[in-house]
Amino acid sequence: MNSIIGTIILLVTGLVTYKGFSDEKYKERHLFDVDKILIDRQFDRLISSGFLHANWFHFVFNMGALLAFSLSVEYLMGIPKYLIIYFGSLIGGHLLALYIHRNHGDYKALGASGAVSGIILSSIVLFPTEKIDLVVFELKATAWVLALIFVVISILGAKRQKDNIGHDAHLGGAAIGVLLTVLLQPSILKTNWWIVLLILIPTLAFLVLIVKKPEVMMIESYWGFDKKEKPTKGQIRRDKEMSLNELLDKIRKSGIDSLSSKEKDLLERLKDDL
């Protein structure tokens, strides 16, 4: 037995994804684009981008995961609450991605990963001790263990930003999915409060960290722990000048397009500071 609403979402997303493959102008108008959202205020992209995918593998992976976890959420919560969790997670995931990439004007993304993450974590919060078959890895895992692994991977991936996976959207969608599940079904806190805390504590701690210390997202090995002596103003200025010179050398040799989004962001910060 398959989820009714999950199947409908799959069909609609499949049609929109196909439209995006056949019409590049349509895809460009509806994908997640930082500048278009923040400057042109095209906020509809926070939702429309969730119905587009990069390729059919991306689509099948997302929709397969959605169907695997949809039935339990639909059965226990009902269709209206399911839709609130799905679209709330989609928007929440994209808002976190928008915050993290707010200075990366060239950042673009597409996919339903944030919404799917919200449904997956909602299902796990509802049934934390269920056994889940991980067909790809040919093994079974308890739901709460999978949730913890998911959160850790999403945090590490969002910080490193070294692949094309939207870990920030995953993390934001998962957190909103859990919060909405608790708000819509508060009775689960009587028995499953521990899994809610297990998911939300590390997630919220990471979000507070990157808000208070944004440099965490720019320095690969830095997690906000200042073990060394505080540098003098002169040392800080010399370090900034050295970093700026390295970036300018790279631009002279390979052009400004050779800079990554992080490097462009750093260049703007250094130009303002010096």
Domain count, the chain: 2
Q: Give residues with Cβ within 8 angstroms of 184, minimum separation 6.
A: 77, 81, 84, 85
Burial class (CB in 10 A: 0-12, 13-18, 19+), 251: middle
Catalytic residue (one of 30, 94, 101, 170): 170
Candidates 192, 182, 189; CA nearest to 129 is: 192
Per-residue pLDDT, 135: 58
CATH number of the domain to which 40 belongs: 1.20.1540.10
Is residue 117 among the annotated active site residues?
no
Per-residue pLDDT, 249: 79
Task: Say if residue 188 is in the same domain as residue 105.
Answer: yes
**Spatial distance between the Cα atoms of 272 and 274, rounded to a whole number of angstroms:** 6
Task: Say if residue 121 is in the same domain as residue 13.
Answer: yes
Task: Say if residue 138 is in the same domain as residue 245.
Answer: no
Domain for residue 121, yes or no?
yes
Inter-axis angle of helices 233-254 and 261-273, nearest 10: 130
217, 246, 262: which is the final residue of a domain? 217
Catalytic residue (one of 72, 113, 122, 154): 113
Domain for residue 224, yes or no?
no
Task: Say if residue 148 is in the same domain as residue 260.
Answer: no
Q: Give residues with Cβ within 8 angstroms of 229, minimum separation 6.
A: none
Domain for residue 228, yes or no?
no
Task: Say if residue 36 is in the same domain as residue 164.
Answer: yes
Report the predicted TM-score, pTM, of the whole model to 2 decimal places.
0.81
State which residues of the chain have pLDDT below 70: 134-139, 226-236, 272-274
Phi, psi dihedrals of residue 127, rounded to the nearest 5°: -135, 70
Chain center to CA of 104: 15
Mode of pairing for the β-strands spanning 108-109 and 131-134: unpaired
Candidates 170, 193, 166, 69; CA nearest to 122 is: 69
Task: Say if residue 205 is in the same domain as residue 254.
Answer: no
Task: Say if residue 29 is in the same domain as residue 108.
Answer: yes
Task: Say if residue 41 is in the same domain as residue 141.
Answer: yes
Burial class (CB in 10 A: 0-12, 13-18, 19+), 15: exposed
Lookup: tokens for 154: 């999403």
Domain for residue 170, yes or no?
yes
Q: Where are the beta strands (DSSP E) in 21-63?
A: 32-33
Task: Say if residue 62 is in the same domain as residue 180.
Answer: yes
**Spatial distance between the Cα atoms of 261 and 268, rounded to a whole number of angstroms:** 11
Is residue 170 among the annotated active site residues?
yes
Task: Say if residue 238 is in the same domain as residue 210.
Answer: no
Domain for residue 226, yes or no?
no
Domain that holds residue 257: 233-273
Domain for residue 104, yes or no?
yes
**Spatial distance between the Cα atoms of 192 and 122, rounded to a whole number of angstroms:** 12
Task: Say if residue 269 is in the same domain as residue 142.
Answer: no
Residue type, 82: Y
pLDDT digits over 2-40, tens only? 889 999 999 999 999 999 999 999 999 999 999 999 999
Per-residue pLDDT, 190: 93
Domain for residue 158, yes or no?
yes
Average pLDDT, whole number, for the chain? 88
174, 192, 217: which is the final residue of a domain? 217
Domain for residue 198, yes or no?
yes
Decide: 126 and 192 in contact? Cβ < 8 Å: yes
